[in-house]
Amino acid sequence: MRARATALKLEAVHKSFGSVEVLRGVDLEVGEHEVVCLIGASGSGKSTLLRCVNLLERIDAGRIFLHGEEITRRDVDVNAVRRRVGIVFQAFNLFPHMTVLRNVTLATSRVLHKPRAEAEAEATALLERFGLADKRAEYPDRLSGGQQQRVAIVRALAMQPELMLLDEVTSALDPELVAEVLNVIRELADGGMTMVIATHEMSFARDTANRVCFLDAGRILEQGPAEEIFTHPREPRTQQFLERIIAAGRL
Amino acid sequence: MSADAETGRGDRGDRRSRILGDLRGTRNIGIAVTSTVVFFVVVAVVIANSAGWPEVRKAFFDRKLFGDSFPEVGHAFLLNIRIFCIAEALILVFALAIAVLRGLPGPVLFPFRLLAVLYTDLFRGIPTILVIYILGFGAPALQLSGVPNSPLFWGVTALVLVYSAYVAEVYRAGIESVHPSQEAAARSLGLSRAQTLRYVIVPQAVRRVIPPLLNDFIGLQKDSALVALIGPIEAFRQSQIDVAATFNYTPYMATALLFILLTIPLARLTDWLIARDRRRQSAGGAR
Ligand SMILES: Nc1ncnc2c1ncn2[C@@H]1O[C@H](COP(=O)(O)OP(=O)(O)OP(=O)(O)O)[C@@H](O)[C@H]1O
Ligand SMILES: [Mg+2]
């Protein structure tokens, strides 16, 4: 692997919900411009891991660093951290009472305090880049799932984050809409965006990820280049998981 | 979007007017008009021919007395309008503050949550008329300096206190009905908790609770008459005076008519607001 600056680093991260320990000591390092895919069975903690990095969940033990700065300190400004980390959810979570344009400019104008004209111009440019220019005045409910998810990606991108977290962004989509969203993510990867992507799309992971991490019961059991994980998994659990995926026709 | 969702939208659009139902096509409208006319003519004939009708008409629907008392009552009704316009404006803000207070997280803010809960429990529990009496007669009796003596002031205050408790609960239901993922999305963009409430949660909550909110306001409009009990001469009090002078109940009917005339447009306005919102967000397009 080439040497690069570390964008994100997790050290022995633990997270429990009540008595259920969901993350049981996760160590992970993500280099700048690197694309890391998290794979693993449902309930293995992928979403929780991403939410912890965005500080939507508070971790119980361990530390998380963003470009060398610890973001899990008690006195850290969570809003400032979230400005630097974009997250896109499985269920889009667009604001239904706002137009597409307002969805995208809400944070840039209210959090980054950009003047309205500037925020709108930037948002329009981004929407154009992802083929959504004609949707800027629409309300989210009137868009297809694929369009909504692309808007959600644009909304996160507008903050010019240092890191993007994508949580199964295609699993709520009809199969024919998956490709348009994956293409957007590929474009981001080609543009050098640092990303951590939880996904069930194994062929996408194989094409796009610099590294694939297999999450099992709250731990990263195995990680490496996509080719290696998919063709020569070392751990029996990883082998099992991939066999099930192949049986389901998803690889 | 799937075909199912499309149909769902269509249904919602058609449901816009419950009264008019599925009146489409000239033939249906013709049938509806005919049956309506026949129905009401029959009812009118039955009533006019029933035994006590002339007495009822004289006591409640005296045309001349109606004409005489209407301007007076109408003038007094302006006070009702003032009472509930001021009260409504204050309630909208105050109740929202209470609802937000009640939703504050964390152990440090527990006293505020407790306060909000106590407030709503208290003022929903006490009969409105009691609150009006306690404040309207009690507060001025204390003769504290700097505290207004006007019964009108205390009447409005009482209405604000009572109705804010109800409206706060309505707001709270609305706020809780907004899915937590909306908050997560807003916070993940770096919005503060207050900004999230202001731009994401409350606007969605308010849209959802417009019908129950309006319902409470209709109640408030009617209860503006209770303020009469501590002195101010609003429409109900004025009609009482007129009734006492004539021994005829027609002035009451005039007052009743005024209240009805006020609530109906409000109800239609709400229907329209809801329909507009729905059109905008889903079926009708962005305009
Ligand atoms: N807010 C919460 N409260 C309680 N338990 C939770 C909460 N969020 C997640 N969990 C539990 O944590 C475990 C891991 O959930 P998580 O959503 O991280 O899994 P995942 O790997 O993303 O699964 P999937 O592939 O189904 O999305 C699950 O058992 C889930 O029930
Ligand atoms: Mg998940």
Ligand 1 pocket check for A195: Cβ under 6 Å: no
Mean pLDDT computed over B213-234: 86
Within a domain: B3: no
Counting from 1 in the atom list of ligand 1, the atom nearest the Cα of A45 is: 18
Within a domain: B20: no
Could you give the percent of chain B with pLDDT greater than 70?
89
Within a domain: B13: no
Within a domain: B53: no
State the residue range of the domain holding A205: 6-247
Averaged confidence pLDDT in chain B? 85
State residue A250's pLDDT score: 65
State the Cα–Cα distance between residues B236 and A25, nearest whole angstrom.
72
CA angle in degrees (0–180, nearest 5) for B233-B236-B242: 85
Q: Which two tokens stand for residue A227?
A: 């080719």
State residue B76's pLDDT score: 87
Q: Quick check: B199 and B186 in contact, CB under 8 A?
A: yes
Here the CATH number for the domain that contains residue B261 is 1.10.3720.10
State residue B8's pLDDT score: 39
Ligand 1 pocket check for A46: Cβ under 6 Å: yes
* Residue A6 vs residues A28, A51, A77, A207: alpha-carbon distances, Å: 10, 19, 21, 22
Q: Could you please report the per-residue DSSP string of B178-232?
A: S-HHHHHHHHHTT--HHHHIIIIIHHHHHHHHHHHHHHHHHHHHHHGGGGGGGS-
Q: Report pLDDT digits (tens) over A198-207.
A: 998 888 899 8
CA angle in degrees (0–180, nearest 5) for A247-A201-A64: 125
**Which residues on B lie below 8 Å from A87 (Cβ)?**
188
Residue, of A127 and B65, whose pLDDT is higher: A127
Could you give the percent of chain B with pLDDT greater than 90?
39
Nearest CA in chain A to B204: A97
Nearest CA in chain B to A148: B1
ipTM above 0.95?
no
Token pair 């709108």: residue: A120
The answer to whether A170 faces chain B, any CB pair under 8 Å, is no
State the residue range of the domain holding B83: 65-283
Here the CATH number for the domain that contains residue A57 is 3.40.50.300
Number of domains in chain A: 1
State residue B284's pLDDT score: 43
**Which residues on A lie below 8 Å from B182 (Cβ)?**
93, 95
State the Cα–Cα distance between residues A54 and A154, nearest whole angstrom.
17
Number of domains in chain B: 1
Q: Quick check: A94 and A151 in contact, CB under 8 A?
A: yes
Within a domain: B122: yes
